[in-house]
């Protein structure tokens, strides 16, 4: 199967860096692929492994992928009825303001909402507030691109492979993994400055303490001989935190940001426990 194209826009997505990553993926087979911070899924869909467990703390994101796998045609049919205008966007966005009513929505309608908002919100900036409500504004694009063929291709892969979805904290993934696994970690990045702080993919955020927990998780993987590769911003804190592991550095362009002044080149680090 050829590499697949992700359908969700995601802050920090790795689609643009995939070709740079290729020389650093494991050069021997692995039994299971694991991705604790799934996001847009660029690496999953590039590698398209036969067996995988993928996770994200955002329940609406995981629900979208689950519905894409189980009911792709119904998802496309639902989305094809959606109007593209500001009024409809805010009507759809505001559905989660009433928790009881939102809870009654079917998984299909929630998945369609996630996809529509992601593809039409301002600059593709998926963002939630402190109580978990989607709060990115309308994007004013020329049109809403549904991409039904891409959706079908991803659904076909998810149904042909053994891909398990989980929704929760990354640490629990250790229990799913055989020793011959490969884990790719793409957490919310350590901020390069106080004004560049963005971890609002979920209401819980991702703190310095979480970065340290993640490093300890990587140490546990290493102790078991499980190969891992991790991406992050190349801050002094992250470089020092992973000083005992192999480090490579890349320049990446970040075009998805709420402020134009925060877009552009940033330096990223790639950490591995294997050569």
Model confidence over 115-141: pLDDT tens digits?
999 999 998 888 888 888 999 999 989
Asked if 179 and 152 touch (Cβ cutoff 8 Å), the reply is: no
Query: How far apart (Å, rounded) are the C-alpha atoms in residues 108 and 169?
Result: 24
The yes-or-no verdict on residue 97 having pLDDT over 60 is yes
What is the rounded average pLDDT for all residues in the chain?
91
Query: How far apart (Å, rounded) are the C-alpha atoms in residues 20 and 23?
Result: 7
The C-alpha torsion from 234 through 237 and 238 to 241, rounded to 10°, is: 150
- Of all residues in the chain, the percent with pLDDT exceeding 90 is 79
Model confidence over 189-230: pLDDT tens digits?
999 876 554 445 555 579 999 999 999 999 999 999 999 999
- Residue 265 pLDDT: 63
| Closest by CA position to 203, among listed 8, 90, 57 | 57
- Residue 64 pLDDT: 98
Query: How far apart (Å, rounded) are the C-alpha atoms in residues 139 and 121?
Result: 4
Assign 238 a pLDDT band (cuts: 50, 70, 90): very high
Model confidence over 53-62: pLDDT tens digits?
999 999 999 9
Q: Which residues pair with 246 in a beta bridge?
A: 272
- Residue 132 pLDDT: 83
- Residue 199 pLDDT: 44
- Residue 128 pLDDT: 85
Query: How far apart (Å, rounded) are the C-alpha atoms in residues 168 and 58?
Result: 8
Query: How far apart (Å, rounded) are the C-alpha atoms in residues 94 and 34?
Result: 33
Please give the angle made by the CA atoms of 94, 100 and 101, to the nearest 5 degrees. 55
Query: How far apart (Å, rounded) are the C-alpha atoms in residues 202 and 47?
Result: 26
Instruction: Please tell me the pTM assigned to this model.
Output: 0.91
Query: How far apart (Å, rounded) are the C-alpha atoms in residues 234 and 232?
Result: 6
Query: How far apart (Å, rounded) are the C-alpha atoms in residues 225 and 254?
Result: 33
The yes-or-no verdict on residue 260 having pLDDT over 80 is no
């Amino acid at each position: 199967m050829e590499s697949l194209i992700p359908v969700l826009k995601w802050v920090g997505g790795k689609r643009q860096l995939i070709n740079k990553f290729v020389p650093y993926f494991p050069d021997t087979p692995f039994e299971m692929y694991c991705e604790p911070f799934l996001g847009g899924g660029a690496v999953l869909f590039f590698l398209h492994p036969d067996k995988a467990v993928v996770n994200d703390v955002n329940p609406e994101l995981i629900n979208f992928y689950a519905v894409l796998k189980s009911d792709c045609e119904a998802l496309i049919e639902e989305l094809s009825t959606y109007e593209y205008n500001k009024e409809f966007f805010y009507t759809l966005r505001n559905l989660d303001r009433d928790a009881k009513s939102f809870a009654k929505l079917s998984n299909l309608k929630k998945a369609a909402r996630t996809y529509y908002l992601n593809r039409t919100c301002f600059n593709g900036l998926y963002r939630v507030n402190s109580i978990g409500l989607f709060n990115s504004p309308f994007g004013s694009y020329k049109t809403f691109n549904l991409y039904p063929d891409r959706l079908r291709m991803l659904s076909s892969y998810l149904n042909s492979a053994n891909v398990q979805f989980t929704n929760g904290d990354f640490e629990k993934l250790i229990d799913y993994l055989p020793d011959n696994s490969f884990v790719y970690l793409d957490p919310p990045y350590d901020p390069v400055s106080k004004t560049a702080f963005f971890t609002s993919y979920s209401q819980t955020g991702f703190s310095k303490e979480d970065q340290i927990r993640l490093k300890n998780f990587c140490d546990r993987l290493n102790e078991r001989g499980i190969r891992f590769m991790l991406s992050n911003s190349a801050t002094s804190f992250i470089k020092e935190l992973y000083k005992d592991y192999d480090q490579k550095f890349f320049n990446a362009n970040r075009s998805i940001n709420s402020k134009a002044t925060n877009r552009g080149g940033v330096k990223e680090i790639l950490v591995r426990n294997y050569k």
